[in-house]
Amino acid sequence: MTVIVHDLRPDVRSDLEGFARVRHLALPFMPVTPESVAHALTRTHPDARFRSLVAKEDGEVIGTAQAGLAHDSPEPGRGFLNVYVRPDRTRRGAGGLLVRTAEEYLAGEGATELYAWALDEPANHAFAARHGYGRRRSAHFLRLDLAAGPLPSLPSPPPGVELRTAADFADDPRPLFDLDAETTADEPGDIGAELTDYATWAEESWKHPLLDLGLTTVAVAGGRPVAFTVAHTDGGARCSTAMTGTARAFRGRGLAKLVKAAFLHRARAAGITEVFTGNDTGNGPMLAVNEWCGYEVCATEVRYARRIG
């Protein structure tokens, strides 16, 4: 059968469902729904030049790609593309066609260096090398079985610190934006990010369809958020934490453990049976926190990069 690639359209429900299905099968550690796929396509900042692609064989979506520019990076010319193919539909040319289409598009948008994630598997290493991508760094996916495993005891908050949820900031989430901006700036990575646009953050992050306000746990001191862990759910019994961070002035006080443990207790009470998170392999402090919580590494992904133009 011939494989074709075309743009994903937010008004074609069957393609959104196919896109989400491929992503779930290829990367089962991150929640995804047709709604979250459509959200990324329609709510990402215009300067990101964000584009989603689908590869089809006989009308069936067998591969996906998301590509764009790191518009919030202080370094211009950084682009990204992440390609996933259904594990049972590999070696049909879908991955290569998606990469070529995305690269041509990003080059036309001014990208000079491209970054991509792929699971740490021999076939992916070979694929990346064939397309000129070199290995840069790696990150772990971690899993915790809430249905069977024990939970860490909930630490007592330090004096002056109380636990809340993101739902408490529904009327004015700007304090959470301020905390997110500070912690994102310190997050390990090869593309720096500066969150300076509250309106963009509100559209992309606060209004994200997977964001669970009741499970997103926040430590507050002096009336402002000082630590948080962001929870994404897909409407089922699975959950993932998308970000955990502590304000610089409050680090070293155990607040990451506090919000993570509180989140896990809330998640179990809400009927969540399986939780995932992710950490850069060089982020020792957060890996230690997650190990204390009971998480175990379930997969590793590799960051690849290549220069173009």
Q: What domains does the chain contain, in order, with CATH numbers?
A: 3-111 (3.40.630.30), 144-300 (3.40.630.30)
Residues contacting residue 214 through CB under 8 Å, at least 6 positions apart: 165, 166, 167, 266, 270
DSSP, res 206: I
Q: Are 110 and 69 in contact (CB under 8 A)?
A: yes
The per-residue pLDDT for 54 is: 98
Q: ∠ at Cα 235 (233, 241), nearest 5°?
A: 10
DSSP, res 190: S
Q: Is 289 exposed, middle or buried, given 0-12, 13-18 or 19+ CB atoms closer than 10 A?
A: buried
DSSP, res 161: E
Q: ∠ at Cα 17 (268, 234), nearest 5°?
A: 10
The per-residue pLDDT for 192 is: 67
Q: Are 30 and 70 in contact (CB under 8 A)?
A: no
Q: Are 77 and 42 in contact (CB under 8 A)?
A: no
Number of alpha carbons in the 13 Å side-chain half-sphere of residue 145:
4
Q: Mean pLDDT for each consecutive 10-residue tract of the chain (309 residues)?
A: 94 98 96 98 96 97 97 88 96 96 98 97 96 96 92 93 98 96 83 81 96 98 97 95 95 96 97 96 93 96 94
Q: Characterize the bridge pairing of strands 3-7 and 51-57.
A: antiparallel
Q: Please state, in angstroms and as integers, the Cα–Cα distance from residue 49 to each residue in 67, 68, 104, 177, following that order.
A: 8, 5, 13, 23
- pTM metric for this prediction: 0.94
How far apart are alpha carbons 125 and 91 in whole angstroms?
14
Phi/psi at 68 (5° precision): 180, -175
